[in-house]
Amino acid sequence: MNEPRKPSASHSGKSEDFPWWLATIVLIGGFLGWQVVTDELYLNILTTLSKGVQLTVFVTLVSFTLASLLGLALAVAAGSRWLIIRQTARFYVEVVRGIPIIVLLLYVAFVLAPALVDLRNWIGGHLGLDPIRTRNFPLLWRAIIALMIAYSAFISEVFRAGLQSVDEGQIEAAKALGLSRWHRFRFIVFPQAIRTILPPLGNDFVALVKDSSLVSVLGVADVTQLGKLMAVGNFRYFETYNVVALIYLTLTIGLSLALRRLEKHLRRRQERG
């Protein structure tokens, strides 16, 4: 009897395909990069926009860190034994996910921030503190708070799914050993859940890099805002926005490739374990 024919490497799955998309992007990026370093106009644009890269990275890292902490707290609250805590967490997640990020950004900047300043002044008045003005609340931090609120709702769902993926039997075994709720979470649940959480969490991080460009609506001098101001000043929209797009592509594709390598590394460790 003839043995069944094994599928060839070319038909073994899309994961074996040569990344032509990446090669194409590298070629286009290389061409644009060559133009940037050899053309004086492009080089001037890049020099100006590079000042906004640091701010973009800062906004992304701080917003993502705060959103992850708040998202983890929401995920834990969603699994609480107390009904009011579970429902409050669910209410927060559903409301925030239903609001466009740009609307939330404007709401936080021009509604929530002044309300927080008024609350601080009211409390400070009873404590003998000098009042502060709303204009003293930096737009940068208003934008960071808005992005934190927006992404915490999405990240909480990632954490919730990861925490629920842990086998219930292991949690029951930890209870039988007398581990407290905190120790069960720290030593049993979270270390196993993180393997499920990391890939989608990385995707949210890459998405936040792109959505950080929305802070330009508030006049924060990130890459997008500096590009807009420069294009208005020199009327070279094509060249300016080519460089803006190249910067964001470099950041997002570089992060995506790094996250894929990390995911493969974790998968290999899991298979060996």
Greater pLDDT, 238 or 270: 238
Instruction: Flag whether pLDDT at 12 surpasses 50.
Output: no
Least confident of 28-42, 102-116, 206-220, 229-243: 28-42
Least confident of 8-12, 76-80, 208-212, 269-273: 8-12
Torsion of CA 58, 62, 68, 71, to 10 degrees: -120
Q: What is the mean pLDDT of residues 78-82?
A: 87
Helix (H) / strand (E) element for 214: namely none
Least confident of 65-79, 125-139, 240-254: 125-139
Full-model pTM:
0.84
**What is the rounded distance in angstroms from the CA atom of residue 94 to the CA atom of residue 119?**
26
Instruction: Flag whether pLDDT at 8 surpasses 60.
Output: no
Q: What is the pLDDT of residues 144-182, one digit of tens each?
A: 999 999 999 999 999 988 888 887 777 778 777 778 877
Secondary structure of residue 254 in the 3-state scheme: helix
CB 270 within 8 A of CB 195: yes
DSSP state of 4: P
Note the pLDDT of residue 173.
Answer: 81
Q: What is the pLDDT of residues 114-136, one digit of tens each?
A: 999 988 888 888 888 888 888 88
Greater pLDDT, 193 or 204: 204
Q: What Å distances lie between residue 117 and 104, 185, 198, CA to CA? A: 18, 37, 36
Domains of the chain: 40-272 (1.10.3720.10)
Instruction: Flag whether pLDDT at 37 surpasses 80.
Output: no
